[in-house]
Amino acid sequence: MRSNLLKGSLLALLLASGSAAQAAAPAKRAVELPPPADLAYEMNAQHRGFGLKGEALIAWRGGDGKYEVNVEASAALLGKLTEYRSRGAVDSFGLAPAEFYEKRYRKDATTTVFNRENKTVTLSDAKEPLALKGGEQDRASVTWQLASVARAAGEARFKPGSEWSFIVAGRRDAEPWTFKVVKREKIQTAMGELDTLLVTREPRGEGKSEGVDIWLAPAQEWYPVKLRFRDDERETIEQTVTKITRK
């Protein structure tokens, strides 16, 4: 019983998507893509005192006006929990997804299509396509859009107190995600102590309990060296980098 509860709650936290109405697209921004790399993470999840350990892998590729990011998370007892794949181009808004593939634990795979010619976003659980206004991200690309914006802005502008908003397409619709740079922080990792900037996305609106914390490391090409997904039910999923392999 406890095992099933843990599995269900953790998967819901990992895979929850936005449900607010689509908002206006963000302003155009300068971006500087991080160099291509494979990033390995140790994963620790907690639910009301119960723990689960595993690993996550992110393969990031960007350059020549295009990008691709592949994300996998797995646990020793459950196997592969999630698989995300996002690919697309780079335009005046930054990363411009063309397709987002999502495979959940024991669920059918879904695909979100960003049609630039027809200016629509086709979502897996939406009856009608959304209007594509420019700047929309998916749940895999948004972290790398944030890192790319941070690299271009530099620490002088991407500093504690600043806020950065993006439109993120979920399974049913799209909503604004606003990230606030909270503070500079040293974190301990398998790679040693890293200097980072903690960036937080707080829940938005009633019924929105999930939050996201991302630690970007300026000295490590602004890679996301730690990520935490959390909600108000004392659930957290935390990924901390163990190795970065430049490609």
Structure tokens at 24: 């206006």
What is each CA distance from 71 to 31, 61, 117, 128, 225, in whole angstroms?
A: 21, 12, 27, 28, 14
What pLDDT does 205 receive?
Answer: 59
Please choose, from the candidates 197, 115, 187, the residue with its C-alpha nearest in 3D space to the C-alpha of residue 164.
197
**pLDDT tens figures, 6-30:** 444 444 444 333 333 344 545 788 9
State the sign of the Cα–Cα–Cα–Cα dihedral 20, 98, 82, 222.
negative
What pLDDT does 130 receive?
Answer: 86
- Cα separation, 222 vs 96, whole angstroms: 20
Q: Of the ranges 1-15, 57-71, 184-198, 216-230, which one carries the lowest mean pLDDT score? A: 1-15
Structure tokens at 41: 């993470």
DSSP tally for the chain: helices H, then strands E = 2, 15
Q: Of the ranges 103-112, 137-146, 148-157, 237-246, which one carries the lowest mean pLDDT score? A: 103-112
**pLDDT tens figures, 22-78:** 445 457 889 999 999 999 999 997 766 678 899 999 999 999 999 999 999 888 777
Q: How are beta strands 66-75 and 79-91 bridged, if at all? A: antiparallel
Confidence of residue 185 (pLDDT cuts 50, 70, 90): very high
Spatial contact of 15 and 73, defined as CB atoms under 8 Å apart: no
Spatial contact of 22 and 167, defined as CB atoms under 8 Å apart: yes
Fold of 2-246: YmcC-like fold (2.40.360)
What pLDDT does 15 receive?
Answer: 39
- Cα separation, 86 vs 141, whole angstroms: 6
- Cα separation, 149 vs 154, whole angstroms: 8
What pLDDT does 208 receive?
Answer: 54
User: What integer is the mean pLDDT of 211-231?
Assistant: 93
User: What integer is the mean pLDDT of 217-226?
Assistant: 98
What pLDDT does 204 receive?
Answer: 65
Residue 36: phi and psi, rounded to 5, are: -55, 140
Please choose, from the candidates 10, 39, 22, 9, the residue with its C-alpha nearest in 3D space to the C-alpha of residue 214.
39
Structure tokens at 31: 């971006």
Q: How confident is the prediction for the chain on average, in pLDDT?
A: 85
Structure tokens at 148: 């790319």
3 state DSSP class of 169: strand
What does the domain layout of the chain look like in residue ranges? 2-246
Residue bearing the bigger pLDDT, 98 or 237:
98
**pLDDT tens figures, 118-157:** 999 988 777 788 888 889 999 999 999 999 999 999 999 9
Structure tokens at 168: 């993120």
128 contact partners, CB below 8 Å, separation of at least 6: none
